[in-house]
């Protein structure tokens, strides 16, 4: 059997499944890596890796009814047949689990969901970095790529370590908050205080003569962090909203960087662990040394691989082990986590385990398809910004790539409509090319009535449209 078959079999046969570390050890050992290399790549202590591996070898020995250890692991299991009984076990496991836990893909994937697909070594790297005093983690990906789902797991891990956690979402701030740097930093400090259930005492620490940034730093060091007996993980979500305000961005981001650098010599700042979450690059001119995104750990959430799509299909009770159906779906939607999972939901939830993938893909770029609501949201957003609409049509109207004005390219990348490599813009997936080629070229036929109809139809989706919906 292959390592993928073995991993699936263990997930199906073990009551507790497999942890991310256990799966990483299995796959690395299959490749012949040493415990030292595995520990280094997984950012765990070698003793913990060895202890976890010893438990795995015992599990496999019991399962195969013969001694299994690291030196004979691949040879023994590789020659072990993947029988029909094994295939049936996986099918029944996925069918039963799917029947119980099938959930419509909307919002972050919950902590107890079996549909969260780890993207190793991202999770383990983030956990390890978060344990470092004064650390900064920058998570970057377009919308609907799984940022919120990853954050949930970072916060859960932090809570297990006894850390305090606070999440601030900048899109929840009133527009008036961004009127000035002073007003913004006071809002920032007041909200962190509230989340920590501490009485805001801004006036006790704010000094107009010293300026807003110094006052903010003093407030964190002398009041907030001093009041805590454990480290604080502070998640700053939707940082993109700040990018719209050049004055604030030009001061806030260097401030974040200075906290990270000062933590090397200021003990109280070592309690602070920052997580910055955003969808695009910064367009505000800043010196390279001022940018916070070239410090700490930068995580770019990747698209799903074919193997991960097959894994997710298995979790939905579908047998895609031959790879053909995974190839067909990815040819239409790429590895976009949300689009992939929505397809699997409909194949299982509405079409049964023998759902018609061919029909789903044929209808996908039409108003009769399962992606209609999502595509309409995008269409409405483009209609409201003609300049953005024209730029995107330029991208989908070529078989190669185009070079767009950076501001427009980054915005299209942020909402997930294009892939951006350097200055080369291409459609994020074939679904978007096929759908928008039908509608954007007909712009002269759309009038205000049609736009109003789209607004009404999407009113109930307006909240979801601003969420990072999947991994």
Q: Tens of pLDDT along 113-131?
A: 889 999 989 999 999 999 9
Q: How far apart are CA 392 and CA 201, in angstroms?
A: 48
Q: How far apart are CA 442 and CA 428, in angstroms?
A: 21
How many residues are present in the chain? 471
Q: How far apart are CA 435 and CA 364, in angstroms?
A: 8
Strand partners, 420: 425
Torsion of CA 99, 104, 108, 110, to 10 degrees: -20
Query: What percent of the chain clears pLDDT 70, i.e. is strictly above it?
Result: 86
Per-residue pLDDT band for 281 (boundaries 50, 70, 90) equals low
For the ranges 167-176, 226-235, 243-252, 372-381, the one whose mean pLDDT is highest: 226-235
Which phi and psi (to 5°) does residue 318 adopt? -105, 140
From 168-182, 296-310, 342-356, the region with the lowest mean pLDDT: 342-356
From 88-92, 216-220, 255-259, the region with the lowest mean pLDDT: 88-92
Per-residue pLDDT band for 304 (boundaries 50, 70, 90) equals very high
Write down the pLDDT at residue 159: 95
**pLDDT higher than threshold 90 for residue 66:** no
Write down the pLDDT at residue 471: 43
Residue-wise DSSP of 334-399: TT-HHHHHHHHHHHHHTT-TT--HHHHHHHTTSTTSTTHHHHHHHHHHHHT-HHHHHHHHHHHT-S
- What are 338-358's pLDDT values in tens digits? 999 999 998 987 555 457 899
From 67-76, 171-180, 186-195, the region with the lowest mean pLDDT: 67-76
Write down the pLDDT at residue 343: 95
From 70-84, 313-327, 382-396, 428-442, the region with the lowest mean pLDDT: 70-84
Per-residue pLDDT band for 333 (boundaries 50, 70, 90) equals very high
Residues 206 and 186: beta-carbon distance below 8 Å? yes
Write down the pLDDT at residue 99: 53
Residues 280 and 411: beta-carbon distance below 8 Å? yes
**pLDDT higher than threshold 90 for residue 360:** yes
- What are 182-206's pLDDT values in tens digits? 999 999 999 999 999 999 999 999 9
Residues 120 and 24: beta-carbon distance below 8 Å? yes
Residues 187 and 177: beta-carbon distance below 8 Å? yes
Q: How far apart are CA 197 and CA 191, in angstroms?
A: 10
> Which residues are CB-neighbours of 55 under 8 A, at least 6 positions away?
none
From 62-71, 91-100, 153-162, 195-204, the region with the lowest mean pLDDT: 91-100
> Which residues are CB-neighbours of 36 under 8 A, at least 6 positions away?
46
Mean pLDDT of 197-219: 96
Q: How far apart are CA 162 and CA 156, in angstroms?
A: 10
CA distances from 127 to 147, 373, 387 (A): 15, 36, 41
- For the four alpha carbons of 316, 139, 278 and 302, in that order, the dihedral sign comes to negative
Strand partners, 419: 426
Listing from the earlier edge strand, what are the strands of the sheet with 164-169? 164-169, 232-237, 272-278, 136-140, 297-300
Write down the pLDDT at residue 113: 87
- Nearest of 166, 168, 202, 167 to residue 182 by alpha carbon: 202
- What are 439-462's pLDDT values in tens digits? 886 544 444 444 555 565 566 555
- Residue in this structure with the two tokens 């991994």, named with its chain if needed: 471
> Which residues are CB-neighbours of 156 under 8 A, at least 6 positions away?
111
Mean pLDDT of 161-179: 95
**pLDDT higher than threshold 60 for residue 23:** yes
Query: What percent of the chain clears pLDDT 90, i.e. is strictly above it?
Result: 52
| Residue 239 Cα to chain centre, angstroms | 15
């Amino acid at each position: 059997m292959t390592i993928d078959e073995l991993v699936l079999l263990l997930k199906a046969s073990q009551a507790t499944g497999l942890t991310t570390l256990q799966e990483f050890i299995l796959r690395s050992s299959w490749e012949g890596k040493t415990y030292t290399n595995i520990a280094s790549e997984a950012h765990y202590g070698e003793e913990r890796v060895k202890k976890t591996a010893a438990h795995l070898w015992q599990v496999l020995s019991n399962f195969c009814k013969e001694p299994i250890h690291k030196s004979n692991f691949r040879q023994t299991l590789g020659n072990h047949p993947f029988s029909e009984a094994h295939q049936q076990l996986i099918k029944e496991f996925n069918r039963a689990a799917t029947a119980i836990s099938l959930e419509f893909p909307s919002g972050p994937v919950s902590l107890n969901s079996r549909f969260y697909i780890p993207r190793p070594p991202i999770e383990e790297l983030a956990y390890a970095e978060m344990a470092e005093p004064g650390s900064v983690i920058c998570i970057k990906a377009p919308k609907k790529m799984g940022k919120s789902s990853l954050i949930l797991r970072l916060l859960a891990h932090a809570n297990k370590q006894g850390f305090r956690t606070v999440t601030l979402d900048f899109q929840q701030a009133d527009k008036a908050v961004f009127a000035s740097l002073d007003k913004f930093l006071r809002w920032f400090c007041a909200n962190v205080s509230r989340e920590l259930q501490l009485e805001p005492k801004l006036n006790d620490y704010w000094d107009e003569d010293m300026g807003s940034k110094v006052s903010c730093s003093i407030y964190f060091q002398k009041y907030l962090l001093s009041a805590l007996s454990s480290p604080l993980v502070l998640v700053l979500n939707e940082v993109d909203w700040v990018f719209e305000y050049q004055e604030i961005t030009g001061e806030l981001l260097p401030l974040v960087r200075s906290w990270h650098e000062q933590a090397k010599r200021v003990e109280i700042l070592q309690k602070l662990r920052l997580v910055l979450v955003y969808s695009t690059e910064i367009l505000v001119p800043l010196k390279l040394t001022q940018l916070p995104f070239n410090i700490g750990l930068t995580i770019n959430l990747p698209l799903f691989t074919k193997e991960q799509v097959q894994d997710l299909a298995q979790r939905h009770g579908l047998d895609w082990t031959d790879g053909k159906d995974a190839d067909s779906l990815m040819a239409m939607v790429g590895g976009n986590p949300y689009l992939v999972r929505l397809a699997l939901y409909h194949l299982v939830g509405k079409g049964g385990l023998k759902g018609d993938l061919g029909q789903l893909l044929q209808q996908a770029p039409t108003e009769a398809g399962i992606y209609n609501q999502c595509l309409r949201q995008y269409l409405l957003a483009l209609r409201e910004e003609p300049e953005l609409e024209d730029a995107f049509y330029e991208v989908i109207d070529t078989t190669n790539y185009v070079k767009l004005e950076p501001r427009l390219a980054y915005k299209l990348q942020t909402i997930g409509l294009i892939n951006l490599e350097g200055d080369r813009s291409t459609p994020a997936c074939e679904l978007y090319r096929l759908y928008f080629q039908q509608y954007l070229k007909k712009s002269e036929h759309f009038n205000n009535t049609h736009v109003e109809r789209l607004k009404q139809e999407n009113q109930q989706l307006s909240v979801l449209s601003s969420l990072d919906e999947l991994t």
